[in-house]
Amino acid sequence: MTRARFDADGRVLTVTLDGPSRKNALSFALYAELRDRFVGLRNESGVKAIVLTGAGADFCSGGDVHEIIGPLTTRTPEQLLEFTQMTADLVKAMRTCPQPIVAAVDGACAGAGAILAMASDIRLGTERSRIAFLFVRVGLAGSDMGACAMLPRIVGLGRASELLYTGRTMPGTQAFEWGFYNELCSSDELHPRALQLARSIANGPTVAHATTKRMLYEEWALPLDRAIDAEARAQALCMETSDFRRAYEAFVAKQTPEFKGE
């Protein structure tokens, strides 16, 4: 059974799905554990950025066929909704935790695994990685864990429609060309590059990064004029921080600013 490892390295927390013999497949318990930990990150001020990855050669193959898919076929409607709401709450927790999440994706990245990558803020991948939103292959809709809302914003409506209707596998190179990945790395370089990127984010202005993440999420549902006004209010609050003042003082002194998350 896949377990989650949480390893802190300074200001960066690495979350590793650790079940390589099962391609890091998800279980009911792991869904709940990840949901609870991402909810808790709202109050972990020492964590400034997150790396999400899988152990071994794969990211995550999605829900375990024997531990999740099979049992779901015998559950009551109420129990099914309880499960789908739990998975939805995991994505909401990822999107509302203040720390930016960098997904490091290699190998299999399918089903709910593809959703976890999609729900991250930045995605790094490899040429050998394979993305598949394969819900249709088990008779389910593509409207799972926010895919119909989020995936079109990443790759475009037509491309998202094709991926969700067919459940086909998207090679790593195409995932990069379509904008799903921010960068392509070799398998050996993937995790070091993700850590490097996460550390650079963690060393930046904490309040400002959290505000950027929150506004990217909240402005999906706002008309343009309201979004612009919301950004005015959010930026004004950032201007009250000590980080803003320190950045100005460092600029005047021709130095690199040191951000303290204040």
Burial class (CB in 10 A: 0-12, 13-18, 19+), 225: exposed
pLDDT digits (tens, 9 = 90+) for 79-92: 999 999 999 999 99
What is the mean predicted confidence (pLDDT) over 204-209? 94
Instruction: Identify the pLDDT of residue 262.
Output: 67
Cβ(184)–Cβ(125) below 8 Å = yes
Answer whether 3-202 and 206-252 agree in fold.
no
Q: Are 153 and 141 in contact (CB under 8 A)?
A: no
Enter the tokens of residue 15.
């979350």
Q: What is the pLDDT of residue 258?
A: 84
Q: In Å, how far are 5, 30, 81 from 18, measured between CA atoms? A: 7, 10, 27
Domain layout of the chain by residue ranges: 3-202, 206-252
Topology of the domain comprising 3-202? 2-enoyl-CoA Hydratase; Chain A, domain 1 (3.90.226)
pLDDT > 70: percent of the chain? 100
User: Residue 165: its pLDDT value, please?
Assistant: 97
206-252 has CATH 1.10.10 classification? no
More confident of the two residues 220 and 104: 104
- Mean pLDDT across the stretch 3-26? 96
Burial (CB < 10 A; 0-12, 13-18, 19+), residue 3, is middle
What is the reported pLDDT for 230? 95
pLDDT in tens, 68-78: 888 998 999 99
Of 64-68, 115-119, 144-148, 173-177, the poorest mean pLDDT is in: 64-68
Strands 130-132, 169-171: pairing is: antiparallel
pLDDT class for 133, splitting at 50, 70, 90?
A: very high
> Over 80: is that where the pLDDT of 179 sits?
yes
Name the DSSP class of 65.
I
The average confidence (pLDDT) of the chain is 95
Banded pLDDT at 65 (limits 50, 70, 90): confident
